[in-house]
Amino acid sequence: MKRNTIKWRIFKYNIIIIIVLIILTTVVFNIAIHLYIESDVTKQLDNIALRAEDTALHRGPDFFSPIDNKNPLNGQNLPPPPKVQDNKSQNSNELFRFYYMLDRSLREPLSILNADYILFDKSKRIIPPLEGDYFKPSNDILDKITNELKIINNTRIKQYMDFTLSGTKYVAIARPVYDKNSFGLGWIIVYSSVKKLNQLQWGINAILLVILILSAGITALFSSISAKKISAPFSSLNKHIGNIAERNFDTKINMQVDDELQELVNKINTMSQKLETYDKAQKTFLQNASHEFRTPLMSIRSYAEGIKYNVVEHEAASNIIIDETKRMTQLVENLLYLSRLDAIEENYSFRSLEFNNFMNCCVERMNGIAKTDNIQIVYNTVSEEVEICADEEKLSRAVTNIIGNCIRYAETSVEISTEKIADNKLEIAIKDDGPGIDDNELPNIFERFYKGKKGNFGLGLAISNNIIERHNGKIIAENTEAGALFRLILPIK
């Protein structure tokens, strides 16, 4: 997959989002599971300690002899054993049974904790079992718990402790029971390592990681497919635009795209069609322009040679050369004017114009040409004053170009009429009584460089169409029974 492409960008952003989500999910999950496990461990220890206390207090009198409150243990770990040997053996067996019963009570709850316990008397001295070290915790744990317990003030409220030994974390709960019995039991300490909890957490993380990696892989696959589908229309558009750059305008984009791209596709097709039309018009222009320039140039050259060799009358030849030069000058001026209208920097000086006065000026300007060709111009003005916003010089040129075109083809007269067709629109109808326009030429007469079979070089109507459109107007050509009709529709100020 290439970089600096839309497909790569979409894929890259999706991958970034996936990685961020994996990290965020893992962190949040670990924090949540850690807090949950710690809370659950505390509850389980509390439950185990409560069960141990219950067992010790209810079954303790069965195994211990009552202690005289006036004569405490006096620094001894256990009550002094009876002097009779049989009684001593019996007491040891009973104490062993007591520790064994407590151990069973700690194992009964269903728990992932590896819980154990230690018994202390009222003076916070350990009460070891009489049967060796079978129930005895390690010396490190015993010393640590003993030191922690000495720090705790005598209170009737249970206390929580946590400590670390050899890299293993332990949690413990100390429950005071010295005021609940009379046989010397003071504290019950239940403790457990959280090693298994950490192993459980790592196992959960491993499962979570596998799930996240699998999800990320599936998401990345679908992301790649989606990015490819999204970038496919752009690749096709790029290929089509490349064809346009190579002046291949005959191909159109025919493919299913999303709504966001449909307008772009339509615009590109429209652009391609217009460029094709413009390209054909340019070719036609080159052909027509070469013909239009070649004829007067040949005429000028012929008469100039005739003057040089004294084979033609000088005055007649000079008049013909002047006329052909004027024709070429007019043609070049029209070309320059049209190119200037297309330029972005061409400014229009819009101002308020009284329409009847404007039209009267245009008609008077064309009357001289009409009389030369024995054509009469009939003008019907608007019955009321109407103001328009226009560039007077350019709009005047557009109107006179159309009037001049009608004079060229008219037989006897050109009729001009104006009327309001809506509250905000004005129509100028310019009609001649000539032969009209061929039906196959009607769609093309406003295209630049187009020349009809009976017409001159086609720039005047293209200039008029350009100016009227820049005035937010519209120009329409059609045939009537009596000749051609041009309708100019302009907005009213």
CATH of the domain at 301: 1.10.287.130
473, 361: one domain: yes
Looking at the domain assignment, is residue 244 inside a domain?
Answer: no
DSSP-derived letter for residue 68 is -
Looking at the domain assignment, is residue 80 inside a domain?
Answer: no
Looking at the domain assignment, is residue 161 inside a domain?
Answer: yes
Q: Give the chain's radius of gyration (CA, Å).
A: 54
CATH number at residue 194: 3.30.450
373, 453: one domain: yes
Residues 6+ apart with CB under 8 A from 64: 79, 95, 98, 183, 184, 185
pTM of the model: 0.44
Longest dimension (CA), the chain: 171
Which domain-ending residue is among 312, 342, 372?
342
CB neighbours (10 Å) of residue 379? 18
Looking at the domain assignment, is residue 417 inside a domain?
Answer: yes
Q: How far apart are CA 192 and CA 190, in angstroms?
A: 7
Residues 6+ apart with CB under 8 A from 146: 124, 126
Looking at the domain assignment, is residue 43 inside a domain?
Answer: yes
Q: Quote the number of domains for the chain.
A: 3
Looking at the domain assignment, is residue 246 inside a domain?
Answer: no
What distances in angstroms separate CA 235 from CA 5, 120, 228, 256, 420, one per listed residue? 10, 82, 10, 13, 51
Looking at the domain assignment, is residue 125 inside a domain?
Answer: yes
Selection from 254, 251, 255 nearest residue 272 by Cα? 251
The answer to whether the CB of 183 falls within 8 A of the CB of 104 is no
487, 416: one domain: yes
313, 169: one domain: no
293, 430: one domain: no
Q: How far apart are CA 129 and CA 119, in angstroms?
A: 9
Which domain-ending residue is among 201, 229, 247?
201
104, 176: one domain: yes
End-to-end CA distance of the chain: 58
DSSP-derived letter for residue 123 is T
Query: What is the per-residue pLDDT for 108?
Result: 47
Query: What is the per-residue pLDDT for 100?
Result: 55
Q: Which residues pair with 355 in a beta bridge?
A: none
CATH number at residue 397: 3.30.565.10
Q: Which residues pair with 168 in a beta bridge?
A: 165
Looking at the domain assignment, is residue 435 inside a domain?
Answer: yes
207, exposed or middle or buried, with CB in 10 Å at 0-12, 13-18, 19+? exposed
Selection from 407, 474, 408, 411 nearest residue 446 by Cα? 474
> What stretches of 27-143 adopt beta strand conformation (E)?
114-121
Share of the chain residues as helix, strand and coil, in percent rounded to the nearest 5 = 55, 15, 30
Which domain-ending residue is among 321, 342, 363?
342
Amino acid at 212: L
317, 401: one domain: no
280, 397: one domain: no
Helix runs in 64-131, H state only: 85-107
DSSP-derived letter for residue 380 is E
CA atoms within 13 A on the CB side of 454: 12
Amino acid at 395: L
Per-residue pLDDT of the chain (493 residues; tens, 9 = 90+): 666 666 676 777 777 877 877 787 778 877 777 777 777 777 777 777 776 777 677 666 665 555 554 444 333 444 444 443 445 455 555 655 566 556 655 554 445 566 777 888 888 888 776 554 445 677 888 888 888 888 887 777 888 888 888 888 888 888 888 888 877 788 888 888 877 777 777 877 787 788 778 777 777 777 777 777 777 777 778 888 888 888 777 777 777 766 667 778 888 888 888 888 777 777 776 776 776 677 788 888 888 988 888 888 888 888 889 988 887 887 787 777 767 666 544 577 889 999 989 999 999 989 888 988 899 999 988 778 888 999 998 899 899 989 998 998 899 999 999 988 877 889 999 999 988 888 888 888 887 666 666 555 467 888 888 889 989 999 999 998 888 999 999 998 7
Element housing 331 (H / E): helix 314-342
What distances in angstroms separate CA 414 from CA 405, 435, 480, one per listed residue? 10, 13, 13
DSSP-derived letter for residue 483 is S
24, 52: one domain: yes
CA atoms within 13 A on the CB side of 210: 5
299, 418: one domain: no
Element housing 76 (H / E): none
172, 276: one domain: no
Selection from 455, 461, 450 nearest residue 488 by Cα? 461
Q: Which domain holds residue 269?
A: 259-342
DSSP-derived letter for residue 168 is E
Query: What is the per-residue pLDDT for 452?
Result: 63
169, 38: one domain: yes
